[in-house]
Structure 1
Amino acid sequence: MNKKMIGKVMAAGLLTLLVAATQLGAMSEVSVAAANSIEIMVNGKKATPDAPPYSNAGRVMVPLRFISDHFQGKLKLSGKDITITRGDRTIKLKIGSKTAEINGKSFDLGAPSEVKYNRTMVPLRLINAGFGIPVRWDAVGQRVWVGEEKVLSLEEKGVKVGTYDEYKRYFGDYEDISKTKKVSVFTGSDFPVRFEAVDDKVTFYKIWTEQVNGLDVIKIHHSGKRFGIYFLTGDGKPRFRMPAELISLKNADGSYVDVYYVASSGDFFVGDIKDKNWENFKISSVKYIGFKVNLETTPLLLNPFTK
């Protein structure tokens, strides 16, 4: 199938968007916070702490021992008194106190340290001041960056590159989707990930599903160029989707939360799918989610929404 037809198929999604927008009306805000809990990124890699971070009275709380161990600190606990040494830095604090001592100088934590999930949790600001490690709280993405703030590409993550022929039954006649004839399949555990080419630069932070007034949608938090997606089910007929402009959101930091309807009338009215039951299409029917970005390999996400 040629590019002109693909364009028609993707444009057909606009019909679904306009109908849905009429049903939904205006939407006040799309929140990334709905995508579940706060994440910790350590030197560009998603970390799995032994206790989840959370917000307390406007302060982000992180597990102290996890950070200390990750950056080669030595932690000693005596009752409620904690002492951490790292290089030429010494941190002293008492569980329940709003102050700490860093190299003999008092430091205001902004909120008291506390025990939760059987772990000592401290305000994020202590990590920067006490350990000398850069930190940043991404309020939009609900993410804590510790250390070097970077996002790796699929290649840097070591994602295997396959050939187009291995996935031909999914693409069918739409061969020009995979211009390079190479395919990179990644999983939900690879997020966040960077897609970067000469004219396409996208940082892909998170993907999740929700229902908006009874309609199934996929939400993608990303920065950079906006893009269409497509669903591959194995029948050789990709189902194309474009962002629903009226309910997608551009955040204050320039990133987007783009919303894509799972079911689209374009699956019936345009192209060769002719699915009379298009309204009943479910994300569980999808094997791979593809992204219309111009990379050296075609990125496919193994559907993270199936059991």
Structure 2
Amino acid sequence: MKNKLLTALILAFAITSVSPVASAATKNYVDMEIAVLVNARKIKSDVRPKNVNGQTLVELRSIVKSLGAKLELQGKVITIAKGDRIVQLTIGEKKATVNGREVPLMLPANVEKGRTLVPMRFVSEALGEEVVWDHVNRYVWIGHKNVPKLEDAVEAVEIKPFLKYFKGTDSELVLFNRTTQKQHTKVCVIKEMDFPVSIDGEIYYRMDLATTATGYVYTRASTNDNTGTMGTSTYLLQTGQPLKLRGEAAGMREKHGDITLHYNLIASRVDKSRYQIKDWEKLRITNIEYLGILLHSDSAGALPQLGNLS
């Protein structure tokens, strides 16, 4: 299941499906696909990165194109040119040459779905770019890591088509602009490919679904901020249902170096007392049309956030 998150008054992101496979970076269960970023932007490819015997393999052509290099294929021989660098490698062989100098490969280049996969470290050796493996976010960072501001990455649109989802008194917490004393009029729809983005000075690296060993399902946000004890709240939107607030489960928060993981419940007992929903425990991520992030600022990049989960 692929999902999206909305902002500006709505922020949109993609949430991956829950899987009973534990990530090495967290005590909870979460299944996250590896993503490649060139200069802090995700790149599109027909083939996802994958891990083989502890080595991360990435699709070569899309990275080469994003770095402004040229790639030519003749038979099994691949030639890459960038500036004064000439790189050659042969599919199936565990070596390459950079300006005539032989460079060993941990794994041979191979072809999958018509695309060539190579060890990610080869990009650094071949094209002179810094490559960093982010095990918490499962990101391969290539080049600089200057994450753009939300307002620079996503264009705001009119909020009117989304107002039908904002029902109940708690909607005012999201819709009301404390600075202008008026209702917000714009929203930025953030797609999975738009992550990571900086919202009001805080970097949101990614958002996923996670489940505990006891079966509770949470949204999990990965950020560079260690928010105070109250944490960051989210809210859930459904047609014909009241807006449902979700506070962060602060006791579950995890700190991994400069990265903080925040957890917010999907189905919560609070819905029974606050919204008079008797079958609150039946709520599933598939029932939710939009998920939002409740921020406490009215700056350009930190208007109310939410996401399309269809």
TM-score under structure 1 length normalisation: 0.76
8 Å CA contact 2:165, 2:243 repeated in 1: no
Could you list the runs of 5+ residues in structure 1 that have no partner in the other structure? 1-26
Matches within 5 A, 1:164-179: 167=163, 170-174=166-170, 175-179=172-176
Task: Select the residue among 74, 78, 94 that pairs with 1:78.
Answer: 74
Q: Say whether the 8 Å CA contact 1:288–1:300 is kept in structure 2.
A: no
C-alpha deviation, 1:168, in angstroms: 7.3
Q: Indicate if the aligned counterparts of 1:81 and 1:93 stay in contact, CA closer than 8 A.
A: yes
Q: Which has the larger helix fraction?
A: 1
* 1:281 equivalent in alignment to 2:277: no
The amino acid of 1:208's aligned partner reads D
Question: Which residue number corresponds to residue 222 of structure 1?
Answer: 223
User: For residue 11 of structure 2, what is the aligned residue in structure 1?
Assistant: none
Distance 2:34 2:162 in 1: 37
Work out the percentage of aligned pairs sharing the same amino acid: 26
3-state secondary structure, aligned to 2:78: strand
CA RMSD after TM alignment: 3.0
Q: What does 1:153-172 correspond to in 2, within 5 Å? A: 153-162=149-158, 167=163, 170-172=166-168
Is the Cα contact below 8 Å between 1:193 and 1:205 reproduced in 2?
yes
> Helix, strand or coil for the counterpart of 2:221?
strand
- Residues 54 and 61, structure 1, Cα contact 8 Å, conserved in 2: yes
User: How many angstroms apart in 2 are the aligned matches of 1:135 and 1:33?
Assistant: 27
Distance 1:291 1:102, change over 3 A: same
Moved more, 173-182 or 130-139: 173-182
CA contact (8 A) 1:173 1:236 kept: no
**1:239-270 Cα distance to aligned partner (Å, 9 max, x none):** 1212334444322x33233222211111123x
In structure 2, the residue matched to 1:291 is 293
Question: What TM-score, normalized to structure 2?
Answer: 0.75
Contact 2:235 2:291 in 1 (8 A): yes
Amino acid at match of 2:174: I
Match of 2:271 in 1: 267
Partner of 1:68: 64
1:180-228 alpha-carbon deviations (Å, 9 max, x no partner): 232524243354143433xxx3222222334443333322222213411
In the alignment, structure 1 residue 38 sits paired with structure 2 residue 34: yes
In structure 2, stretches of 5+ residues that fail to align are: 1-22, 178-182
**Which residue in the other structure is 2:92 paired with?**
96
- SS of the residue 2:62 aligns to: helix
What SS does the corresponding residue of 2:79 show, helix, strand or coil? strand
Count of residue pairs the alignment pairs up: 273
Residue in 1 that maps onto 2:192 = 189
Q: Deviations over 1:130-181 (max 9, x none)?
A: 1122322211111122233232232112331545896276154332434423
